[in-house]
Amino acid sequence: MKTLTLTIVTLGLAGPMICQAAPPTVNHEGGAKNISTGTAQLCGTLAGEAATEVTICWGPTDGGTDKTKWAQAIPLQGVPSGAFSATAKDLIYGETYYYRCAATNASGTAWAPAATKFTSQQPQRPADLPVSKGLALRLDASQLTGVTDGQQMETWQDVSGQANHALRQNYSSAGFPRYAANQLNGLPVVQFDSGASMGDAFQFKRISNIRTVFWVLKENAGVSGNHFLMGDSIAYHFHRNRGNGPMWEPIHSRPEIRKGITKLMGTAVDGTKTALPAAQYQLLSLVTAGNVQADQITQDRHFAGSWQGDIAEILIYTEPLSTQDEATVGGYLATKYGLKTAYPAVPAVVSTSTLDNAPVSEATATSVVLHAKLACPGAMYSVRACWGTEDGGTDPARWTHTAEVGQWSNVPSVAINKTVTGFKPNTTYYYTFRAANGADDIWAANVMSFGPSPANTIRTFGTATLKHAVISGANITWTVPFPAEVTALAPSYTLPPGASGKPASGTTRDFTKPQTYSVTAENGATKVHTVTIVREAPRTGKNILTFGIFPRCPALIFGTHLTLTVPHHTDLAKMAPTLTLAPGATCKPASGTAGDFTKPQVYVVAAEDGSTTNYTVTAAKSVPPAADILSFGLPGKPAVIAGTAITWTVPQGTDVTALAPVFLMSDLATGYPYPGTPRNFTTPQSYTITADDGTTKNYVVTVVQENL
């Protein structure tokens, strides 16, 4: 056999042969990873050549291979072969999401074989503040009660256990400070909008041994003037130079603050140089080098400006927290508010979603409205009402009746109601609510009961100013405050349709002894109800909380001794200070009563239980008003003051077109322009200082450069 060799020669045009790249292939190997509250990392793997773009499509519905049918799309350019990923954000817990990747090159677009499902983690928060030793003040917007979204705040309750509640000052701007719901990680904040006047501020009883402070806050961008993190009515320990600038003024803030440890988002910074970032929530901490004092949020003495922005929480400790405790509290706050900081993570153990039953309303013989309250920030739940003649607990099969109420997503708090009908007469029913999604199931813990009112039973009993009574069959217990006058009360009551009562609703009666009410049903059946008054225990508080000539001259309170310093021109013989007292307490003389304060005055405060405390008030005039600049310049570069002429020598070559000097003035004086205002010193600049009595003094500042 012969072997033949065939040689094939291909002739053609000179040049490279061009081969068309094959379409890429893409899959979801590994699926979604790093799933946390509100976020998930969507992963894929690309194989093939010359891919120009990968698009990760995702959303609550599967859009197939049509990009327009997906709620969200994340484009990735120039993706090489191998693994890739992108982060999906603003996920709602309980919602099922899908994602599918598409890869495109010159040969076309290829999709992953199928969509992949994923969900986010349940929103959680730390159980409670981990360090309480030395806690002297805790202002936490998430624990405020009795306020609604957008409502102006009168009192910011202290939840430290010290009852040192912060009271809004009467010079605050219209409508502010105000409560704002669902602002930070589903939690509320208090919003401030200080203008050119005194600004928005709260005042609390002075704490003179502050050693550690935490703030969770946001400062608006573009603010000018002084905007203080904390202050005092007579001192300037926490003094700050300007908004959107460093936290502490480098000369006039207390050295105990400047020499302390300031941390921003868990990282130590120089608070006299590092600016507070604007328009974003920040976690700020301070451990001082010694005792400092404050009694105001966020006003420094009488300076205009105060705060512009949001405050979620403030903690004040009278002990310098250890490095470990400071990090533990910082981690707690970071977890609670969803902030990324350098603090170690604190495990989140409490769900932010809650469901609570509430009493029924509009009860008739055949229908009733069931009520509950749901909170589900960052989550989605479908809610059902359950009711029946047996308490079914958390077993759906034991409830005779269930009904869909609705679906709620990412709400801080919402009232839920469901009207149900078809009851047997004189039968007790139980009810509860259940919230569920694809990953979680919440039952209201407090199963409640109701029974359609018999036709001759009083439904409600009370007055507009006193709480309504508790009705148990024919016995009605009416609890009233300790000091309430009960000899001539005129309660109103409601009855079932067709029933009548004697005496009539609104009749004045003497409740120093039990009173009876006879109710006759439409069919003539009569029931006699007995109403008994129960007084609340008398309150024992007999403290003076605030005292002074407000807002400029609050008194210092040291136990039962008060010191009031007033402007030099004040007539001490005719002063009429105002005061606030512990709830239920009374005082002689009363708030606003004029007195002769050329000698000490005694105020007798009586608690509801009859016990009393005597407070002695000593008043004094301040030093004569002055309009002096006491110091001027920058750290290490003080000026020379000679009368009203100030000479400020700066190093040769200094740019003097935008110097921002700071200066210290006489007590209670104000200056314009404000300390720290940038000015062009290529020519002499003037400053006007106004004393407390309105007199002014003009200073001229000349800048000279040192000779080499």
List pLDDT tens digits, range 498-540.
889 999 999 999 999 999 999 998 778 899 999 999 988 888 8
pLDDT over threshold 60, residue 9:
no
pLDDT for residue 372: 94
Give mean pLDDT, residues 59-84: 93
DSSP state of 331: H
pLDDT over threshold 70, residue 27:
yes
pLDDT over threshold 70, residue 15:
no
**C-alpha to C-alpha distance for 353 and 414, rounded to whole angstroms:** 11
pLDDT for residue 13: 40
**C-alpha to C-alpha distance for 477 and 221, rounded to whole angstroms:** 56
Handedness of CA 88, 40, 26, 115 (dihedral sign): negative
Neighbours of 707 (CB within 10 A): 6
Q: What confidence category does residue 125 fall into, taking pLDDT thresholds of 50, 70 and 90? A: low
pLDDT top residue among 538 and 14: 538
SS3 36: strand
Q: Which DSSP helix (H) or strand (E) runs through 19?
A: none
pLDDT over threshold 80, residue 654:
yes
Q: What is the pLDDT of residues 324-371, one digit of tens each?
A: 999 999 999 998 898 999 998 887 666 778 899 998 887 777 788 999
From the list 150, 203, 206, the residue with the least C-alpha distance to 181 is: 150
Q: What confidence category does residue 624 fall into, taking pLDDT thresholds of 50, 70 and 90? A: confident
From the list 519, 702, 540, 533, the residue with the least C-alpha distance to 608 is: 540
Could you tell me if 121 and 81 are in contact, meaning their C-beta atoms sit under 8 angstroms apart?
Answer: no
Handedness of CA 676, 679, 681, 687 (dihedral sign): negative
Give mean pLDDT, residues 103-114: 90
pLDDT for residue 356: 92
pLDDT over threshold 80, residue 642:
yes
DSSP state of 580: E
Strand segments, DSSP code E, in 60-201 are: 72-77, 82-88, 97-105, 108-111, 116-118, 124-125, 135-140, 155-156, 166-168, 178-184, 187-193
Calculate the CA 398 to chain-centre distance: 41
Distances (CA, A) of 148 to 88, 163, 190, 693: 32, 22, 11, 41
pLDDT for residue 454: 65
**C-alpha to C-alpha distance for 282 and 215, rounded to whole angstroms:** 8
Question: What is the pLDDT of the chain when averaged over all its residues?
Answer: 87
pLDDT for residue 635: 77
Percentage of the chain exceeding pLDDT 70: 92
Q: What confidence category does residue 49 fall into, taking pLDDT thresholds of 50, 70 and 90? A: low
CA angle 239, 240, 241 (to 5 degrees): 130
**C-alpha to C-alpha distance for 602 and 608, rounded to whole angstroms:** 20
pLDDT over threshold 50, residue 669:
yes
Dihedral, CA of residue 33, residue 36, residue 37 and residue 39, to nearest 10: -40
54 φ/ψ angles, rounded to the nearest 5 degrees: -120, 135
pLDDT for residue 189: 95
pLDDT over threshold 80, residue 668:
no
User: Helix, strand, coil shares of the chain as percentages rounded to 5?
Assistant: 5, 45, 50
For residue 627, what are the contacts with CB-CB under 8 A and spacing of at least 6? 665, 666, 669, 689, 690, 691, 695, 696, 697
Q: What is the pLDDT of residues 130-176, one digit of tens each?
A: 899 999 999 999 888 778 888 988 899 999 989 899 988 766 667 78
Q: Which DSSP helix (H) or strand (E) runs through 621?
A: strand 612-621
**C-alpha to C-alpha distance for 206 and 545, rounded to whole angstroms:** 10
From the list 668, 689, 643, the residue with the least C-alpha distance to 569 is: 668
442 φ/ψ angles, rounded to the nearest 5 degrees: -120, 125
Q: What confidence category does residue 14 fall into, taking pLDDT thresholds of 50, 70 and 90? A: very low
pLDDT for residue 348: 61
pLDDT over threshold 70, residue 21:
no
Q: What is the pLDDT of residues 420-443, one digit of tens each?
A: 998 877 788 899 999 998 778 899
SS3 327: helix
Q: What confidence category does residue 688 fall into, taking pLDDT thresholds of 50, 70 and 90? A: very high
For residue 190, what are the contacts with CB-CB under 8 A and spacing of at least 6? 141, 144, 153, 156, 177, 178, 179, 180, 310, 311, 312
Q: What value does the CA radius of gyration of the chain take, rounded to a whole number of Å?
A: 35
**C-alpha to C-alpha distance for 244 and 225, rounded to whole angstroms:** 9
For residue 637, what are the contacts with CB-CB under 8 A and spacing of at least 6? 648, 649, 650, 651
pLDDT over threshold 80, residue 198:
no
pLDDT for residue 626: 85
**C-alpha to C-alpha distance for 580 and 134, rounded to whole angstroms:** 26
Percentage of the chain exceeding pLDDT 90: 49
pLDDT over threshold 60, residue 17:
no
pLDDT for residue 171: 60
* Burial bucket for residue 242 (CB in 10 Å: 0-12, 13-18, 19+): buried
Give the pairing type, strands 475-480 and 526-535. parallel
**C-alpha to C-alpha distance for 378 and 411, rounded to whole angstroms:** 8
Q: Which two tokens stand for residue 493?
A: 């009551």
For residue 504, what are the contacts with CB-CB under 8 A and spacing of at least 6? none
For residue 214, what are the contacts with CB-CB under 8 A and spacing of at least 6? 283, 284, 285, 286, 313, 314, 315, 329, 330, 333
Give the pairing type, strands 261-264 and 267-269. antiparallel
pLDDT over threshold 90, residue 553:
no
Could you tell me if 618 and 564 are in contact, meaning their C-beta atoms sit under 8 angstroms apart?
Answer: yes
**C-alpha to C-alpha distance for 222 and 243, rounded to whole angstroms:** 8
256 φ/ψ angles, rounded to the nearest 5 degrees: -65, -25
